[in-house]
Amino acid sequence: MAVKKKEAEVNLLEAIQQFCADKSLDREAVMGVIRDSLVTAYKKKSGIETLDEEANPIKVEFASGTDGENVVIVVSRKVVESSPANGLEISLEEARTVYPDANVDDVLDFKEKPMELSRIISSQAKQMVFQRLRDMEKELLYQEYKAKEGELTHGYFQRWKKDAMSIDLGKVEGIMPKREQNPGEKYHSGDRLKAIIQKVELRPREPIPVITLSRASADFVRKLFEMEIPEIYDGLVEIVNVARQPSIRTKVVVYATRGDIDPVGACVGMKGVRIQSIVRELGNERIDIVQYSSDPTEFIANAISPAKPYDVKADSIGREAMVIVPEEQLSLAIGINGSNVKLASQLTGFRIDIKTIAQYNEEFSSPEARERLDKLFSPPAEITEDEDDGVTALEDLPGLSARLIGLLRSAGINNVETLIEISQDDLAKLPGIGQTTAAQILRILAESVEWVEES
């Protein structure tokens, strides 16, 4: 029987060591969990759950010997002449079986093996250990994958869970809900696929972190471009914005940080080789590369591609635009189920109305109609020095680039006074401006504007 106990104890430790290696857990942290669990179990067995651990600690030791690594519980117990009142006392007769020179009132250390605890208490201790280890593994995985949120990853399709896909990521499984899947894509067990880690969260009833993946988001396309286009990765070309209708069309707005670089050509590549690899990854989804411009009419004309507009009229204040196209370009400008004009509207922040040349001439044939149209889409008259009401032009902010000024003006922000009133979150929601750019703009404001409190 003694041999079986030793073997069981050694096997338990070996199992824990293997668990640490498999799950990449810190050995000292795991041993700490075991110590805490065994101390709790011993207190429960001895009826001393309310014991102040600092006043009379119960220790757990891991000792290496010739027979393997052993776990022992060390308890400081007081020697009493009569029967012991609790687990922290021991009778003189029993104490002398271990310490022959023991006397009453001596406080001596006694060792007890976990296997010598009662069967129920031992089982509870084991459950407590493995529950704490599972919690530790769950937290470790959460921290690891939370740091990768928004990054591109790859995995292998496992199975369907109702409408959701289960993806093997190596250490854990991720899920891809139906709304995050590319419509029309079909997978078989073991197929390799790329996706973006969209969200990582802890749920009380789930044994591992819930990792939500996406292939339908605009950020997925953004990450593919960063991976495939060296100029984007190196910061020579910036992605200003991405608008997407999965499996139908995606529009990507790009901007070159250097004048000698063609941002559209860099993304397309020689004979389209760069863009084709992204198109294949997206299941032959159409991708339009749009060059950014601070001029709203030029930007809208670029965004409505592949259609070639005859004329564009834009109202920067009302955020409305009229795009006039030849008859044969109408279907291209609108797109399948209106996808092209919808995505162009998302990118530019303008509500876009598409008209053919014939429709435009018919609707605005009279001089009165043309006059109303000119007033609607004419740029506001420039403020002269005599009319200046004390506002500060955006150009007066040192460090604010022409591109940022163009983005702000296209959003209706024409002076510093208006910019000051806008929060970082609201700035980040404007077309072409994310959290990073919004923080940069506010930093320029803080460095350049002197704040005066009104008395």
**Residue 453 pLDDT > 90:** no
**Residue 451 pLDDT > 60:** no
- Residue 52's pLDDT is 62
For 165, other C-beta atoms within 10 Å of its C-beta total: 23
Beta-bridged to residue 75, according to DSSP, are 58, 110
Share of the chain above pLDDT 70, in %: 80
- The rounded radius of gyration (Å) of the Cα atoms in the chain is 35
Name which of 33-37, 191-195, 301-305 the model is least confident about: 33-37
Do the Cβ atoms of 68 and 6 come closer than 8 Å?
Answer: yes
Share of the chain above pLDDT 90, in %: 24
pLDDT in tens, 8-26: 444 556 666 776 777 777 7
- Tell me the three-class secondary structure of the chain, residue by residue: CHHHHHHHHHHHHHHHHHHHHHHCCCHHHHHHHHHHHHHHHHHHHHCCCCCCCCCCCEEEEEEEECCEEEEEEEEEEEEECCCCCCCCEEEHHHHCCCCCCCCCCCEEEEEECHHHCCHHHHHHHHHHHHHHHHHHHHHHHHHHHHCCCCCEEEEEEEEEECCEEEEECCCCEEEECHHHCCCCCCCCCCCEEEEEEEEEECCCCCCCCEEEEECCCHHHHHHHHHHHCHHHHCCCEEEEEEEEECCCEEEEEEEECCCCCCHHHHHHCHHHHHHHHHHHHCCCCEEEEEECCCCHHHHHHHHCCCCCCCEEEEECCCCEEEEEECHHHHHHHHCHHHHHHHHHHHHHCCEEEEEEHHHHHHHCCCHHHHHHHHHHHCCCCCCCCCCCCCCCEHHHCCCCCHHHHHHHHHCCCCEHHHHHCCCHHHHHCCCCCCHHHHHHHHHHHHHHCCCCCCC
Name which of 41-55, 170-184, 326-340, 372-386 the model is least confident about: 372-386
Confidence of residue 383 (pLDDT cuts 50, 70, 90): very low
| The CATH number, out of the four listed (1.10.3720.10, 3.30.1480.10, 3.40.50.2000, 3.40.50.1470), of the domain defined by the range 12-138 | 3.30.1480.10
- Residue 291's pLDDT is 92
- Residue 1's pLDDT is 41
Rounded Cα distance, 300 and 312, in Å: 7
- Residue 374's pLDDT is 66
| Region 319-348 average pLDDT | 90
| Region 121-135 average pLDDT | 72
Angle at 240 between CA 238 and CA 245, to 5 degrees: 120
Confidence of residue 455 (pLDDT cuts 50, 70, 90): very low
**Residue 389 pLDDT > 60:** no
Token reading at 291: 């060059």
For 287, other C-beta atoms within 10 Å of its C-beta total: 20
Angle at 247 between CA 246 and CA 253, to 5 degrees: 60
Do 12-138 and 149-216 have matching folds? no
Q: CATH topology for 219-377?
A: GMP Synthetase; Chain A, domain 3 (3.30.300)
Name which of 37-41, 76-80, 326-330, 447-451 the model is least confident about: 447-451
Rounded Cα distance, 431 and 451, in Å: 28
Rounded Cα distance, 419 and 176, in Å: 40
- Closest residue by Cα to residue 217 from 255, 177, 190: 177
**Residue 364 pLDDT > 90:** no
pLDDT in tens, 151-192: 999 999 999 888 899 999 988 899 999 999 988 888 888 999
Q: The tokens 């208490």 sit on which residue? A: 121
| Region 272-299 average pLDDT | 90
Between 62 and 214, whose confidence is greater?
214
Q: The tokens 């789930």 sit on which residue? A: 206
Between 120 and 221, whose confidence is greater?
221
- Residue 429's pLDDT is 77
Rounded Cα distance, 359 and 322, in Å: 12
Between 411 and 264, whose confidence is greater?
264
Between 402 and 359, whose confidence is greater?
359
Q: The tokens 């060296």 sit on which residue? A: 230
Angle at 240 between CA 234 and CA 244, to 5 degrees: 115
Q: The tokens 């703009």 sit on which residue? A: 441
- Which pTM was predicted? 0.65
Q: CATH topology for 149-216?
A: OB fold (Dihydrolipoamide Acetyltransferase, E2P) (2.40.50)
CA distances from 105 to 40, 53, 79, 95 (A): 26, 20, 5, 11
Rounded Cα distance, 362 and 380, in Å: 27
Q: Please name the amino acid found at residue 407.
A: L
Q: Where are the domains of the chain?
A: 12-138, 149-216, 219-377, 402-448
Confidence of residue 381 (pLDDT cuts 50, 70, 90): very low
Average per-residue pLDDT in the chain?
80
